[in-house]
Structure 1
Amino acid sequence: MISCPHGGVAAALSGSAGHAVLMGGLPVRTAGEVLTVVGCRHTVDGVPAPCASVRWTADGDGVLIDGVPVVTDSTAGMCFTAGLVPQGPPVVAAVRGGVMCG
């Protein structure tokens, strides 16, 4: 799960790059993808300045898909407003799957 530092949730656009390669049934993300952020309530001096996207800066020496670096847990990212003003790094939290009994 990826979110902005202000609680907005980031998601890839449906049909975006990286979906052709799957790992464990999930799409492999690349640095070429821009995630869209929804629900950010960040303000500056009382004026809304929500995060709108997450962009990645990946190491070009790692694994590539169609020449674009794969996003890993060590890839640097930044959240931006719609006007591309940096807002801080995204928050990445592991989501655990598995069997639940109840």
Structure 2
Amino acid sequence: MSGTSGNLIGADAVISCPHGGRVTAAHAPSSAVRIGDRAVATTADTYTVVGCTHIVNGIPQPCVSVCFTASDSGVTVAGVPVLLDTSAGQCFSAALVPQGPAVVTSAQRGVSVG
């Protein structure tokens, strides 16, 4: 492993855009590696944002997607880099305008978030 460290992100992690929108992931079929019964998140997964309230000059410009940069941890699933709670993610509008970093919170086992 090289310089990056952090905890693996599972499907139960809470990820949001900087404006409070909730990020959801559609896990790639190769997400066979699991934390408990949850798929490990990878850069091959698709990340969408719902509920973003970002407004620019009075016009709604919500975040709609997130692109994560592969870490240099060297850890992969089926050759695809895994995401860590320290991975950099950029949120984008529908026009692909960068709108700030994704905020990753590692999920706590046994805690239910409503």
With structure 1 as the length reference, what TM-score do the two structures score?
A: 0.85
Percent identical among aligned pairs is 52
Q: Give 3-state SS (helix, strand or coil) of 1:12's partner.
A: strand
Q: Structure 1 residues 29 and 47 mapped into 2: Cα distance closer, same or farther (>3 Å)?
A: same
Find the counterpart in structure 2 of residue 12 from structure 1.
Answer: 25
The answer to whether residue 15 in structure 2 is matched with residue 2 in structure 1 is yes
Q: Structure 1 residues 99 and 7 mapped into 2: Cα distance closer, same or farther (>3 Å)?
A: closer
Find the counterpart in structure 2 of residue 31 from structure 1.
Answer: 43
Q: Indicate conservation of the 8 Å contact 1:60/1:68, yes or no.
A: no
2:86 to 74, 91, 97: 74
Q: Structure 1 residues 99 and 81 mapped into 2: Cα distance closer, same or farther (>3 Å)?
A: closer
How far apart in 2 are the matches of 1:99 and 1:33? 24
Structure with bigger RCO (C-alpha 8 Å, 6+ apart) = 2
How far apart in 2 are the matches of 1:96 and 1:44? 34
RMSD of aligned Cα (Å): 1.9
How far apart in 2 are the matches of 1:22 and 1:94? 15
Q: Indicate conservation of the 8 Å contact 2:85/2:105, yes or no.
A: no
How far apart in 2 are the matches of 1:84 and 1:92? 21
Cα distance, 1:60 vs structure 2? 4.6
Please identify runs of 4+ aligned residues in structure 1 that moved more than 6 A: none
Give unmatched runs, 5+ long, in structure 2.
Answer: 1-13
With structure 2 as the length reference, what TM-score do the two structures score?
A: 0.77
How far apart in 2 are the matches of 1:48 and 1:20? 38
Instruction: Report the number of matched residues.
Output: 98
Q: Indicate conservation of the 8 Å contact 2:70/2:83, yes or no.
A: yes
